[in-house]
Structure 1
Amino acid sequence: MNRAKTYSPNLTLLGTTALLFEAPGPLELAPQQRIWAMAGRLQALPEVREAVPGMNNLMLTFARPPRTLAALQALEASVLQAWEETEPLPLQGRIIELPVVYGGAGGPHLADVVTHTGLSIDEVVALHCAPLYPVYALGSHPGYCYLGGMDERIATPRRAVPIVNLPGGSVSIGGVQTGVSASAGPSGWNTIGSTTMDFFHPEQDPPAVLQPGDCVRFRVQDIVRTC
């Protein structure tokens, strides 16, 4: 007999400073919207210093760490209750268009994605540009956005050997996700192109240009067919 696979939330203590809630099921927009709503609800708890949405998860840093097992269990019960009771929060943000030069020196792994998927360069680029990508969460490094909605036909495993210093503005694919590096740094993703945008300004409030609920649309500026 075939039975539908069931998923349950997972709670993990991060040392003595935080609690991590991991949502059940696949990475999709509706559960992520519930996490956004949960963050607002749980931020009000006296034990919580900050509620930080991640990809399919929510980290609660402690303002007042639970000192007893009973206190920890009460907090965990509040988190699970929030997940059950919270409805998706459809934040209405901006649509940011990013022109991308695909391939060439700024997209050295486009050929690897082509080889893995069996698609042509034009097909990979067309599929990558087609969606309107919602910003699910911020993380990894200042200004970096985790995006949802990439076509699974261009999904490509992360690289066995990471790149030590990937330039800012690099557009990459890692597994079923795509993203844009906000600054230079290491990466294990496959870089297929580059764009020009400043994603982080420390003097501004908020310093990150993009926020959860915003959307990114990639536009073809050029395709360089020799890497």
Structure 2
Amino acid sequence: MSAADSSIATAATGWRIEAQGDRCLLVRFGDALDIRIGQTCLAAARLLREAGLPGVTDIVPSFTAVAVHYLPGADGPGHAQMAERVAALFNGGIVIDEAAGRDIEIPVCYGGDLGPDLPDVAARAGIGEDEVVALHTRPGSMVFMLGFAPGFAYIGGHDAKLAIPRRDTPRLNIPAGSVAIANRQSVIYPGGLPGGWNIIGATPLRLFDPKRSPAVLLAPGDRLHFKAVDRKTFDRMKKKTESGQ
């Protein structure tokens, strides 16, 4: 096995280990957005953390893979050695904990000034605005990973009809709480941030609060249910959130 090999190890179960630079291995479990693949990535990351392999500095799960960062050195593991340790661990089996993660309801006020892209999303999908909302509020969404900004959750598993691209022109400042979609995924903006996702609504919940413990509302593996609420309910809940209640 050579450190120059792009694919260091492959398992009969379908995962493969690839070299990423000189101090990272990528364990790839698939190539498509899929709840089961996401759950497998999270289970593999938990297994790696519990194993405490020598030299590992960070473990980062994503939609389809887990990055294993480590410090190579004179006495530390190289790519081949680390790949062998990871492969041996995974060959023992990766058990998905169906009870892992929480069930969380996310209230969303769709359309209007809170969801300016809802009409365009409906047109691109070839369906009505009500159907977009119905598809988005359908159970089965999961937080795959966090990234981009504190509390910024990547949520997936939506119907194929919502596999629309991002906007051609990104916005420079998207308000906190904005719920946006693209490519069968959702994101909820935790603060005023730039972004090119299609905004279809907003939630009154606060995704990131440094004064709260934990500071982030969502975590990988959480199962989400988006629930449509009217503007009056949204405003009432937003006021309550801002008052710290």
State the TM-score bracket (shorter-chain normalisation). 0.7 to 0.9
Deviations 1:48-89 (A, max 9, x none): 112121221212232x32559972111123334444432323
Aligned-partner Cα distance in 2 for 1:67–1:37: 31
1:7–1:25 Cα contact (<8 Å) kept: no
Cα separation, partners in 2 of 1:216 and 1:102, compared to 1, 3 Å? same
In structure 2, the residue corresponding to 1:74 is in which secondary structure? helix
CA distance in 2, matches of 1:205, 1:47: 30
The 5 A counterparts of 1:78-117 are: 78-84=85-91, 85-117=93-125
Structure 1 unpaired stretches of 5+: 1-5
* Corresponding residue of 1:201: 209
Report the identity percentage: 35
Residue number in structure 1 paired with 2:234: none
Name which of 218, 224, 228 aligns with 1:216.
Answer: 224
The 3 A distance-change label for structure 1 pair 9 and 27 is: farther
In 2: Cα distance, 1:169 partner to 1:72 partner = 42
The match for 2:129 is 121
User: What is the distance in 1 between the residues matched to 2:59 and 2:99?
Assistant: 17
TM-score (structure 1 length as normaliser):
0.83
Which is further off, 147-156 or 25-34? 25-34
Equivalent of 1:41 in 33, 37, 47: 47
Tell me which residue corresponds to 2:161.
153
Conserved 8 A contact 2:37-2:63: no
CA distance in 2: counterparts of 1:69 and 1:28, whole angstroms = 35
CA pair 178-89 structure 1, distance change in 2 beyond 3 A: same
Q: Is the 1:47–1:66 contact (alpha carbons within 8 Å) kept by the matching residues of 2? A: no
Equivalents in 1 of 2:150, 2:23: separation in Å?
21
What TM-score comes out, normalization by structure 2 length?
0.78
Corresponding residue for residue 178 of structure 1? 186
| Range with greater deviation from structure 2 (205-214 or 75-84) | 75-84
Amino acid at match of 1:75: M
Distance 1:86 1:8, change over 3 A: closer
- Contact 2:19–2:79 at 8 Å: present in 1 too? no
**Partner residue of 1:71?**
78
Q: Which of these two proteins has the greater Rg computed from alpha carbons? A: 2
Q: What's the counterpart of residue 35 of structure 2?
A: 29
Measured in 1, the distance between the counterparts of 2:226 and 2:74 equals 48
Larger relative contact order (Cα-Cα within 8 Å, sequence gap ≥ 6): 1
- Aligned residue pairs: how many? 216
